[in-house]
Amino acid sequence: MTGRARRLRPAVWIGLAAVLAPARQASAEFGDPIRGQSLFVEKTCVQCHAVRGTGGRIGPDLGRTAVKGSFFELASGMWNHSPVMTRKMGEVQIARPSFEKGELADLIAFLYFLNYFDEPGDPNIGKVLFAQKHCIQCHRLGREGGTAGPRLDRLPRGTPPLSIARALWNHGPVMVPAIRRVGLDVPKFEGSEIVDLFAYLRGQGERRAAREFRSSGDPERGRVLYATKGCARCHALFGRGRSFGPDLGRSELRGSVTQLAGRMWNHWPAMSEAMESVGMSPPSFQGEEMADLFAYLFLSRYDGGPGDLARGKAIYLQRGCAACHGQNGEGNIGPALRTVTTGEAKERIAERMWNHAAKMSDKMSTYSVPWPHLESGEMADLFTFLAEGWKR
């Protein structure tokens, strides 16, 4: 193994154990990201792929590209690129890896989770933003800044970013009108701005250490909070529930947990208005509630929306699967599938397809069937059909 195959950024894993157990309870097939991290090295992925800068350069950096979406986005990424990956593996003489029970789920859990934790943030950029976003006009830091709002240099150093986001949100009802009174726009945060800004605030704070435990959130508690804080009154999740505001499963909520909090804050003006119109006041958050809520939203996105059985069937018939595996999955050039995929979890179906992709690809060239490219939604539909469509 080359020197590249060193362990990846252990800092990422701080707090992971706390979220792991509840995460795996919430989704039975959710893999073990810590095992996935080792597999990323063992299965040679690291020879071609970096994860946020560490690792090979032959394929794309998976910390920057693939790790943004649901299980299906990751799995369809691997599937669609499979022919090119296989060819490259041949060129650099790496044996194409296959996966034993559950290994692919672990690997995908690893890639998926990477995105959840904040990057450290750049306090120098944060300092510029503190002025640019006009925070400095109302908040004192050291000797500088206005006095309309509370000092922001009293936070213990190392306060978790999400606690600052929580404070920002909870003070919205007073702060937003104060901002409007002086004729400013309510600040919005793009990309990693909120992480940089908070990195600056964390560094300016008092020297005593933060006593607060940095939790990664408990998705089960988050599920309950989603209802009790009123989110469910306005936001459907993948079409389930009522949608007055955007469907939070379908909206492109990408980025780390603090970036998600930033996204929610950006909508404060419209959201608080909407809340007023239905006669509720904006909920406030105590303790770890915000972390719990985002852990829930984050894991909901892992599963993606429910697939559509009828559309899945159409894909099966039209993309050549039926030609090789039979109209009813009874088998033909390829093996029978109905006995194999019925009732299987999406992780297992993806694993089977990946393991057999090389031979499938050979047969496809023989019969001139083009490699079936699957968008993530199509893959969700197809897997729903493979798992449930043959029961009757």
Q: Which of 127, 202, 223, 263 binds ligand HEC (CB under 6 A)?
A: 263
Q: Is residue 340 a contact point for ligand HEC (CB under 6 A)?
A: yes
Segment interacting with ligand HEC, rule: CB under 6 A, options 4-12, 115-123, 263-271, 305-313: 263-271
Using CB under 6 A, which of the segments 27-35, 117-125, 137-145, 208-216 binds ligand HEC?
137-145
- Specify the DSSP element, H or E, that contains 50: strand 50-51
Asked if 246 touches ligand HEC (CB under 6 A), the answer is yes
DSSP 325-351: H-TTS--SSSPP-HHHHTT--HHHHHH
Exposure string of 228-254, with b = 16+ CB inside 10 Å and e = fewer, is ebbbbebbbbbeebeeebebbbeeebe
The residues in 221-240 that bind ligand HEC, with binding defined as CB under 6 A, are: 229-231, 233-235
Which CB sits closer to ligand HEC, 62 or 295? 62
- Does 131 participate in binding ligand HEC (rule CB under 6 A)? no
Residue 54: its H or E element? strand 54-55
Site for ligand HEC contains 48 (CB under 6 A): yes
Q: Tell me the C-alpha distance between 346 and 105, whole Å.
A: 9
Nearer to ligand HEC, 21 or 195 (CB): 195
Q: How far apart are CA 9 and CA 19, in angstroms?
A: 18
- Alpha-carbon torsion 68, 70, 76, 79, what sign? positive
Judge contact between 255 and 161, C-beta under 8 A: no
The CB-of-392 to ligand HEC minimum distance in angstroms stands at 19
Nearest distance, CB of residue 28 and ligand HEC, angstroms: 20
Q: How far apart are the first and last CA of the chain?
A: 49
Q: Which of residues 17-36 bind ligand HEC (CB under 6 A)?
A: none
* 272 contacts ligand HEC (rule: CB under 6 A): no
Interaction of residue 88 with ligand HEC, rule CB under 6 A: yes
| Beta carbon nearer to ligand HEC, 14 or 310 | 310
At its nearest, how many Å lie between ligand HEC and the CB of residue 115? Answer: 13
Q: Which residues pair with 206 in a beta bridge?
A: 156
Is 135 an interacting residue with respect to ligand HEC (CB under 6 A)? yes
